[in-house]
Structure 1
Amino acid sequence: MDPMDLRIFTEPQQGASYDTLLTVAKATEDLGFDAFFRSDHYLAMGSADGLPGPTDAWITLAGLARETRSIRLGTLMTAGTFRLPGVLAIQVAQVDRMSGGRIELGLGAGWFEEEHTAYGIPFPKEKFARLEEQLAIVTGLWETPLGQTFSYEGTHYTLTDSPALPKPAQDRVPVLIGGHGATRTPRLAARYASEFNIPFASIEDTERQFGRVRAAADAIGRGADDLVYSNALVACVGKDDAEVARRAAAIGREVDELRTNGLAGSPAEVVDKIGRYAATGSSRIYLQILDLDDLDHLELISAQVQSQLG
């Protein structure tokens, strides 16, 4: 198959300190993975206690930017409800400079109402229209030539004569848009995204959604191959059935369910399934690692899965 990027994707709201995330990020780099990404949530989900409590995505990435050298760093996905778009553009540009140009911004509408309630964050009804304006503002600020100003008048946000500073280190910070929406999501991806990501989707649903994004790109005269297409899938790999079962139990999941809905099983099984995702046009997979203390898991994936993907 064509080369496939493997990235490590973490969910720190389920329970992880900055030091734990730093350890995983350094292992991600040392083992030759392409990137370290994290979610942007402030409340644990399911049965997790979330201890020691949430960490902020962009503060985490700022720290990691200074303590790593080569891996790319980003969010799946920053919640549009958490930050004003002008502030977000400054934060991401600054962290990109701190990293020497290794940052990627996944931006979504925000959906988890309970975390907003828990921390006093407004949870507006019309989130998607806000997301569209945020994408226009963040990318518009970055693309404004030095010495010129940026203004924007929308329904939800207005910017007047912004100096549009600081600029990121990269000419263009990759913007990721993702999701399962059939109409508005592909349209936004076609207009603003460097990469389209579909989370926790079957091969059939992946193929269908990638087709929608490609059609949306064609409809506005953008080459469909101009975008990167990617998946996010939970990983549970073991050298034998017993190890797979132990790793599944550690994250409170059933092996059969993970084999169906994620990347679970032996390295050979996982390589085979990745090949089926690659056939849909996916060239990058974010491996959701839920047990952040199990660095042997990353070592196994590096040695016996990544090594076979070209």
Structure 2
Amino acid sequence: MDLRIFTEPQQGATYDTLLTVAKATEDLGFDAFFRSDHYLKMGDADGLPGPTDAWITLAGLARETRRIRLGTLMTAATFRLPGVLAIQVAQVDQMSGGRVELGLGAGWFEEEHQAYGIPFPKARFGRLEEQLEIVTGLWATEPGNTFDFHGEHYDLTKSPALPKPAQPRIPVVIGGHGATRTPRLAARFADEFNMPFASVEDSVRQFGRVRAAAEELGRDADGITYSNALVVCVGKDDQEVARRAAAIGREVDELKTNGLAGTPAEVVEKIGRYTETGSRRLYLQMLDLHDLDHLELISAEVQSQLS
């Protein structure tokens, strides 16, 4: 089971804070540093000093890290035109030496669109599908050839399809709970399917839908990596778990039900249950970005038991 660190900077984080967490992620042996792509805080967080852009952040981290994978859960298709997104992600991939992954979703948080003047169309899923076709098509176009696409939402003519990523193919991550369209989209485009904040039972059902959709398209369902994203709250003992839960405004029992919470032994046991679903990667949602001792504990007492 790969462990990746997943951050939510819209809740309040500077670039320097994210850099510190990313460097700790690398030094402590985790597989990757991912971040959300949001421009507005959620819930009771103060959101200060304000949002940071996902791909600008990852460009900076690409130059200041050496090993870890870097990516988004999820970039919103409403935020960027697909040609621009393909250029941005390919450039960051070059800057990182080929360590980038693109999580791409339809976009859902209407209030952040209103707050920053970003259109929030009703037909977002169709736009997402066309963005996936365009972004992957641009990257796959052989040098010297051009790319054309004429869809309902986007129109590209004689694009030089440049620049190219450093990787032969940037992994694409698609996720979500949708029972029909999401599995079909994952079967067509995803290198990885991510089930966010879901129970073991719900993960089994959704992974099964993705597998069935892949097989229907004639694709090897085992060629897709299956993963989960879960909030994490680990402590050496019950008192430390309670302290960390309070620091992020959550209840211990709720976290144990809906996330990965408890002592290292409890968390390792629950990770084992997700492993049995076919999940091979966990994105650990870290909500207190200043608690680097938390990362150290997970590395020493949880990650060490998974290899």
1:31 aligns with 2:35: no
Structure 2 partner of 1:238: 235
Structure 1 partner of 2:262: 265
Query: What SS is found at the alignment partner of 1:252?
Result: coil
Structure 2 partner of 1:138: 135
Question: Where do 1:191-202 residues align within 5 Å?
Answer: 191-202=188-199
Structure 2 partner of 1:170: 167
State the shift of 1:75 in Å: 0.1
Q: Which runs of 4+ in 1 moved over 4 A?
A: none
State the shift of 1:29 in Å: 0.1
For each residue in 1:204-247, what CA deviation from the matched residue of structure 2 results, as whole angstroms up to 9, or x when unmatched? 00000000000000000000000000000000000000000000
1:72 aligns with 2:49: no
Distance in 1 between the 2:272 and 2:252 partners? Answer: 20
Number of aligned pairs?
A: 307
Structure 2 partner of 1:252: 249
State the shift of 1:293 in Å: 0.2
Q: Match for 2:224 among 214, 222, 227?
A: 227
Question: Where do 1:34-45 residues align within 5 Å?
Answer: 34-45=31-42
Structure 2 partner of 1:62: 59
For each residue in 1:126-169, what CA deviation from the matched residue of structure 2 results, as whole angstroms up to 9, or x when unmatched? 00000000000000000000100000000000000000000000
State the shift of 1:178 in Å: 0.1
1:117 aligns with 2:92: no
Structure 2 partner of 1:190: 187
Percent pairwise identity: 83
1:307 aligns with 2:304: yes
Question: Where do 1:199-218 residues align within 5 Å?
Answer: 199-218=196-215
Aligned-partner residue type, residue 130 of structure 2: E
Q: Match for 1:101 among 91, 98, 102?
A: 98
Aligned-partner residue type, residue 208 of structure 1: R
Distance in 2 between the 1:301 and 1:207 partners? Answer: 25
1:158 aligns with 2:155: yes
Distance in 1 between the 2:60 and 2:114 partners? Answer: 28
Q: Match for 2:126 among 117, 124, 129?
A: 129
Distance in 1 between the 2:141 and 2:3 partners? Answer: 33
Query: What SS is found at the alignment partner of 1:305?
Result: helix
For each residue in 1:26-85, what CA deviation from the matched residue of structure 2 results, as whole angstroms up to 9, or x when unmatched? 000000000000000000000011000000000000000000000000000000000000
Q: Match for 1:86 among 73, 83, 86?
A: 83
Cα RMSD (Å): 0.2
Structure 1 gaps, min length 5: none
Query: What SS is found at the alignment partner of 2:87?
Result: helix
State the shift of 1:292 in Å: 0.1
State the shift of 1:267 in Å: 0.2
Query: What SS is found at the alignment partner of 2:115?
Result: helix
For each residue in 1:97-147, what CA deviation from the matched residue of structure 2 results, as whole angstroms up to 9, or x when unmatched? 000000000000000000000000000010000000000000000000010
State the shift of 1:86 in Å: 0.2
Query: What SS is found at the alignment partner of 2:226?
Result: strand
State the shift of 1:309 in Å: 0.3
TM-score, normalised by the number of residues in structure 2: 1.00
State the shift of 1:260 in Å: 0.2
Distance in 2 between the 1:93 and 1:60 partners? Answer: 15
Structure 2 gaps, min length 5: none
Query: What SS is found at the alignment partner of 2:144?
Result: coil
For each residue in 1:165-208, what CA deviation from the matched residue of structure 2 results, as whole angstroms up to 9, or x when unmatched? 00000000000000000000000000000000000000000000
Distance in 2 between the 1:126 and 1:88 partners? Answer: 19
